Amino acid sequence: MISIRSLSITYETSARSVPAVREVSLDIPAGKITAIVGESGGGKSSLVYGILRLLPPEASFSGSILYGRENIVSASDAWIRNFRWKKAALVTQGAMNSLTPVISVGSQIAEVLQVKMGLKRQEAMKRAGELLEMTGLPADYARRYPHELSGGQKQRAVIAMAMACSPDFLLADEPTSALDVITQAEVITTLAGMVRRRGMGLLLVTHDLPLAASICDTLAVMHRGRIVETGTPASILKSPSHSHTRELLSAYRVIGGQLQ
């Protein structure tokens, strides 16, 4: 379980300080899917990167993020490096620029296995092929470079990479936003399926409320850096209590999205 307790993240520039996350408390239980939805610029991504302590130096923290007994906010660099990917792995918008363009997809996955798990190069490459197959890509795509993959294929490769060290948690930051609707559904189904099969925890961050609601166990709505509503997707969809949730919902109703 990752427990966030009254976490605030502020970006201190020379001119002013911009609060991104304000007094957020949230539990991300293992083996469950937790979703955070909210408008862009609402502090969701800062929260995710904060958990991995990947924020730029001008970001300052207060509060705590507990993993077991360790507080991530104040943990040592060595501990964080071990925590990253082995305990919590990141799934970003793979369709964009998440894969290093000059390294083959397989080598990028194998690199993590070699560095973090101590595998030999050959084993690592073989395992990389298996991971790709798990996400629905042919194993020999390991030899391909990012520019040879389509957006959906890149996203699957990014998910395969996140699974490499069998982490306890996946942190997914808008994993499907850049994909077309059909690919979005395929990718999110693959992701949810793998997480459930392996009993991992997933923190899904998205602005797409219906998509989040369709797969998550717990839904949190974030607005201007605060979590304004938490609950099961069914209860929130039925009776949204916060005006921002209603706005998010009505946006989809207007467009004509059919909720379950």
Partner 1 sequence: MRGYWVRRAAGAVAVLLLVIAANFFLFRVMPGDVVSSIVDPRFSPEAKERMRELFGLDLPLHSQFFIYVRRMLTFDFGISFLSQRPVWDELRSRIPNTAALLGSALLLSSIIGTWLGVKAAQRRGGLIEKVALVSGSVSFSFPSFFVQLVLLLLFAYTFPLFPLRGSVSIPVPQGTLPQVLDYLWHLALPAGSLVLLGFGSWAIYVRNLMVKTLGEDFVLLARAKGLSEERVLWNHAFRSALPPVLTIFLLALPGIVSGAIITETVFSLHGVGKFLLDSILGHDYPAAGAAFYILALLTITSNLAADAAYSIADPRIRVGHRAER
CA distances from 161 to 43, 48, 123 (A): 25, 18, 15
**Does residue 93 bind partner 1 (CB under 8 A)?**
yes
Nearer residue to partner 1 within complex by CB, 87 or 223: 87
End-to-end CA distance of the chain, in Å?
29
Whose structure tokens read 């948690």?
169
**Does residue 11 bind partner 1 (CB under 8 A)?**
no
Q: What tokens appear for 68 in the block?
A: 């077991």
Cβ 36 to partner 1 shortest distance, Å: 18
**Does residue 206 bind partner 1 (CB under 8 A)?**
no
Cβ 163 to partner 1 shortest distance, Å: 12
Q: Contacting partner 1 (CB under 8 A), which of 47, 72, 73, 90? A: 90
**Does residue 220 bind partner 1 (CB under 8 A)?**
no
Cβ 239 to partner 1 shortest distance, Å: 37
Specify which residues 206 forms β-bridges with.
37
Beta strands in the chain, from DSSP E residues, in sequence order:
2-12, 17-28, 33-38, 59-67, 70-71, 88-91, 169-173, 201-206, 218-223, 226-231
Q: Contacting partner 1 (CB under 8 A), which of 23, 27, 39, 111? A: 111
Which span sits near partner 1 by CB under 8 A: 139-147, 221-229, 230-238, 244-252?
139-147
